[in-house]
Each structure stands twice: as C-alpha cells, then as structure tokens.
Structure 1
Amino acid sequence: MLSLRMDGELLDRVRRRAARSGMSVQDYVVRALVKDDFDARFEAAVDETERFYGGS
C-alpha cells in the first residue's frame, strides 16, 4: 500500500494527465514511479558497464 499527500493543484494536474492517458490517477502515479525506477536502474547499469569496460 502506498499513500501520497499532494496539494489540490498537483492533484488536478495529475488527474488531467491521467485522463489524457485513459488511466486512473492511481495507475498513472504507479506507472510514473515504475518508469522512474527503471530509468534509474538503467542509468546505473550503463554507468557500471562504462566503468567495467573503461568507456568514455
């Protein structure tokens, strides 16, 4: 379970973006978190590969 607090203005923006994507606010937020986590893990993997192979 995840609980978030956000002000009304942010919630309105998230609702609009979720609606444009045809998603619920909950699904939209979870998708954003998953994408951010993937991006961070991918960047870390690229950095590690560059260190291992002595990349530029």
Structure 2
Amino acid sequence: MASRVLSLRIDAELWDRIRDHAARRGMSAQDYVVRTLIRDDFDERFQTAVEETDRFYAAAPQPDREPPGGPGPAARDPAGVPRAQTRPRAGIR
C-alpha cells in the first residue's frame, strides 16, 4: 500500500483540542486524525450501502402486499389460512 503526505494548516486552538483527544486515547495526534478520517469514511460508505439496500427493496415486489383480487392459493396453507409473509430487511434500520 502506497502512502501519501497531506499537509494541513490548523489553528492553534484546534490543534490543542486534537492533541488532547489523542492523548486521552494514548495516540499521537497524527494517528488520531487518520483514525478519525477512516471512521468517517466507513460511516459514509455504510450509510450509502444502507440507502442502496432500501432502494433495492423499494423497487422489488412487496411480498407483504396482496395482489389485486386477493392472495392466490400459494399464499394459503392447506387449511386455507393465509401464510405469514415478511419483507426482508437484513436487520438494518
């Protein structure tokens, strides 16, 4: 993995706060900033994945809705009782 250099100009008050946060975690200021950026990037990618999943299921046929004219024979058990239908969500919400 290649590394790159990023130079930032930060005012003294912000730098002091970054150093304090890093020291409380036993980290260098550089490691603290990098981990914060990585965490933010992960949060953003995770949120995008959740939104894409929601769009996918919104576009898919809704199994919990009855088709016009009522449920077909496959939606009932042998006794004629409607089967429970659920909409998959992968535990996200």
TM-score using structure 1 length: 0.94
Aligned match for 1:10, one of 10, 14, 22: 14
Task: For 2:19, give the aligned amino acid.
Answer: R
Cα distance in 2 between the residues matched to 1:25 and 1:41: 24
Indicate yes or no: 2:46 matched with 1:37: no
Aligned length: 55
Higher Rg of the two aligned structures: 2
Question: Take 2:8 and 2:40, find their aligned partners in 1: how far apart are those partners?
Answer: 17
Structure 1 residue runs of 5 or longer lacking an equivalent are none
Percent identity over paired residues: 65
How much does 1:5 deviate? 1.2
Extract structure 1 runs of 4+ deviating beyond 6 A. Answer: none
The root-mean-square deviation of aligned C-alpha atoms, in Å, is 1.1
Higher helix share: 1
Which whole-Å CA distance do the structure 1 matches of 2:55 and 2:48 have between them?
A: 11
